[in-house]
Amino acid sequence: MLMLINCSGCRTPLQLPHGATSIRCALCQAVTHVADPRSVPPPSPNAVAPPPGPTGPWGQPPPPPAHGNKRAVICGISYRNSRHELKGCINDAKCMKYMLMNRFHFPESSIIMLTEEERDPYKIPTKQNIRMAMYWLVQGCQPGDSLVFHYSGHGSQQRNYTGDEADGYDETLCPLDFETQGMIVDDEINTALVRPLPHGVRLHAIIDACHSGTVLDLSFLCRMNRSGQYMWEDHRPRSGVWKGTSGGEAISFSGCDDDQTSADTAALSKITSTGAMTFCFIQAIERSQGMMTYGSILNSMRAAIRSTGDSMGGGPVTSLISMLLTGGSAGGGLRQEPQLTSNDMFDVYAKPFSL
């Protein structure tokens, strides 16, 4: 049996193997020591259960059924009552949950929602709660499992000094409290979600944010032109740092390239504000006929955004940097191009898509 404990340094949940008395955190390198569980006497039948600890509701996921387990973390951040406010991100989160449950049969009990509308303080999309949710998602995953991480909110970039980014910048996600607690950097996302994936486990990330093309630091990016022709670009770090999985599969759809911004707009749904990428991703799946492939979904998303951008001629973009500089939204229409990245190369028109 595996036990979940908090790192003594950064408080990240760690999975302690059976019989182990210490574990090193991959993020902060702190060593956390625990008492040998075999030396702890069983609790008295009349013992009172202790109150929830600092990990809140983040327990170990239940054992997967024989056919494989489905789990998802959905994060939508509106930055309500701030100058960074977005209108469509919570709508994105609700739509994604509905699709996962009704189209791909994810159990509601296996979906963690992080939005400002949640009443549970551990489900507010703060930096610590998003970190804990990412680690919960991969805890105890086994062959046959399907994992989904969806994020709709601000994304940004910061200078990289280790030499493992081709453009010199790390991509980041902006939690609700990023102004005081900082952003979540792509290196940490890769460590939390990608590297632990064992053989037979598949992770899909759907990232609707600015500068999100390579935000999972996956090794290969599918560079596709407007006619649908593509080639894989090698984004493995020149430093040789390992960014792959532990035998599993990680694939990410993102809202735009690393140097682009993503739209928060009502121009697509005609009803309410949504993230352009999330709307087009769900629409591509709902409108698909026959076998869905990664290439057909990516093409459909790009075509929908191009047609909307050409027709609207301008609109709000959720560029964090431009909003910080101007104190509001910047114009320019929909000029984003959704991206596909993976830990390995494959034929995007032959590989069936499923969650």
Catalytic residue numbers read 154, 210
DSSP for residue 191: I
**Which tokens sit at 310?**
């050409």
> Residue 78: what residue type?
S
User: How many Å apart are CA 295 and CA 350, to the nearest integer?
Assistant: 8
Helix (H, G, I), strand (E, B) or coil at 220: strand
What residues have CB less than 8 Å from 156, skipping those under 6 apart?
171, 172, 174, 183, 210, 211, 320, 321
Q: Give the burial class of 101: count Cβ atoms within 10 A of its Cβ; 0-12 exposed, 13-18 middle, 19 or more buried.
A: middle
| Residue pointed to by tokens 């114009």 | 331
Report DSSP letters for 33-78, one per residue: E---GGGSPPPPTTPPPPPP-TTTT--PPPPPPTT--EEEEEEE--
Parallel, antiparallel or unpaired: strands 146-152 and 70-76:
parallel
User: How many Å apart are CA 275 and CA 266, to the nearest integer?
Assistant: 9
> Residue 68: what residue type?
G
| Length of the chain, in residues | 355
How many Cβ atoms are within 10 Å of 176's Cβ, its own excluded?
25
User: How many Å apart are CA 13 and CA 132, to the nearest integer?
Assistant: 6
Helix 294-312 and helix 276-286, axial crossing angle in degrees, nearest 10: 130
